[in-house]
Amino acid sequence: MFSRISDLKLREVINLQDGRRLGFVEDVELDLESGRIRSIIVPGKSSFWLLRSENIVIPWEQIKRFGTDVILVEMPSLSTGGGTHIYLPGQ
């Protein structure tokens, strides 16, 4: 299966661990030596003051399935009190 990076930006990323909608792919991280994608990057949620939190970096190994309109990932999350979730890649 072939796809363009621009096609990835049209797919919503959903975490299988908690069913949370993480957002849409904003960018990808490439390993230029091997020619492989290392991770996809989803923008962090905006806060009350419209300041964006840190991006969510999802390693390629945590991507479980590409659908026609979604990307399913499996990432553990840690709740931090007021409903904010921090995603911890690689754990």
pLDDT in tens, 20-41: 999 999 999 999 999 999 999 9
- 5-80: CATH topology: SH3 type barrels. (2.30.30)
The pLDDT assigned to 86 comes to 46
| pLDDT for residue 4 is more than 60 | yes
| pLDDT for residue 56 is more than 70 | yes
For residues 74 and 6, the model is more confident at 74
The pLDDT assigned to 82 comes to 42
Nearest to 73 by CA among 55, 52, 57, 53: 57
Round to whole Å and give the CA distance between 20 and 62.
Answer: 15
Give strand pairing partners of 59: 39
Domain boundaries, the chain: 5-80
